[in-house]
Amino acid sequence: MTLREEKPEITLDSDRLLAGVLGNNRRAMDFGEVAFLSVFKEILVGDFAPISFNGSLKLSHMRLVWVWLSRDVMPEIKQHLLGVKDIDSAKSALQPHLSELIAKASDAIFLASDNPDTERRLIAQLGGEEIKLRLPIIINTLKCNSLLSKASSFGKSSNSLEDDELEEAILSLPLKEKRVTSLLFHAIVGQTKDPSRLIIAASNIIGGALEKSYKGAGFEPLIEAMFAHAQNQISIIEDQAGHFGDVDLICNAIIRYHHLMRAIGGNVEIERGSHWYKTTAELTKFMAQRIEPRLNNVSFNVNSAMRKPRSGPDKVDADQLLSALNGIYLLVAVRQARETLALNAIFEKIWGETGQSLEVLIDRNMEVLKQDPANAIVLARLDAGIKMAGLRFGQEYGDVLLRAKQVIERRQKQAV
């Protein structure tokens, strides 16, 4: 693992989501499911999404919708998918029938709206009221699907546009069509490295930064897309539970969350008590709830990894060393993003504790190494400790420690 750049390379979060759908399954209908989900690729989010936005859809909801469509709305989908052996061929098989699928799904929704019994049956088939409420967004996405890939390309190209070019490009969007722009802005933000540029461009177009000005000019979907992506970073962290969680993914999610929330908070004058104000508070709370327990373990893991066990033979605990190192990476990421995380008190406490512990424990291990330069266990602890110190105090300090360790090793070789 390497130190993260201030703005990590962006990849669409849905790539990660879709990668886990197929798994080891290789049936035609499984390929069909992934092909169907890929239609919504640019707006899919993870399942931790307590706040609903008009430009995004939960993966778990869309998987249930696929079951409904292929079982209850258009069972002939199974016939169309016969013989497909990969996702590309499944996409080719589904594409000609999307219009028919839209029509039949729309008819089912219309019938349910006019009959309470039919509506209850529809909710049961879908798997819940929440999914039923998202059906209009799903139908709208199917209708304007070709625009989503263009919006994703827009997001990529926006990273290299000059400010005036970006403003001109934004003005080409159908800003008066909120249902469409909600989807488009979600796809655009997903590929934008610096989300603040989009908001600054919108402010320049509007001629102000007031919340009501954004809404009045048709830029409400842009801010909600930022919120939706910020919430999805929390979903990414939620998915990385346990010892084998990907700390690199977690840290990048923290930094990405920070850039999204800072883009909003630093450039939009949000009205106190408004929906956006409450959304900011909710997302801040959700993120803190997922990071704080991880921070609480950092000091313990560092101390345990760098010390000899209290009982039994001295040995290197590779898992403990990895946990300690991962904790320092997390701490550094939180430090970069602290402005938007509301974790200052606990961060300052852990930051101070780990700094003090590393200095003391590295010094102790250096002293042991002087007495026993060939001690492989102490060398392993020092290697990990020096790497952690480089992250915590800066690479220059880590290099000083590394040179001190190398001097001890050279003396041992000369003595032999």
The one-digit pLDDT tens for each residue of the chain (416 residues) are: 343 444 545 555 667 788 778 777 788 898 999 999 999 999 999 999 999 999 999 999 999 999 999 999 999 999 999 989 999 999 999 999 999 999 999 999 999 988 899 999 999 999 999 999 999 999 999 999 889 999 999 999 999 999 999 999 999 999 999 999 999 999 999 999 999 999 999 999 999 999 999 999 999 999 999 999 999 999 999 988 766 678 999 999 999 999 999 999 999 999 999 999 999 999 999 999 999 999 999 999 999 999 988 887 888 889 999 999 999 999 999 999 999 999 999 999 999 999 999 999 999 999 999 988 888 999 999 999 999 999 999 999 999 999 999 888 887 766 65
Q: Which helix (H) or strand (E) holds 289?
A: helix 275-296
Q: What is the pTM of this model?
A: 0.91
Letter string b/e over residues 169-192, b meaning 16 or more CB atoms within 10 A of that residue's CB: ebeebebeeebbbbbbbbbbbbbb
Distance from C-alpha of 23 to C-alpha of 205, rounded to nearest angstrom: 45
Neighbours of 110 (CB within 10 A): 10
Q: Residues 371, 308: contact at Cβ < 8 Å?
A: no
DSSP 210: B
Measured at the CA of 137, the angle between CA 134 and CA 138, to 5 degrees, comes to 85
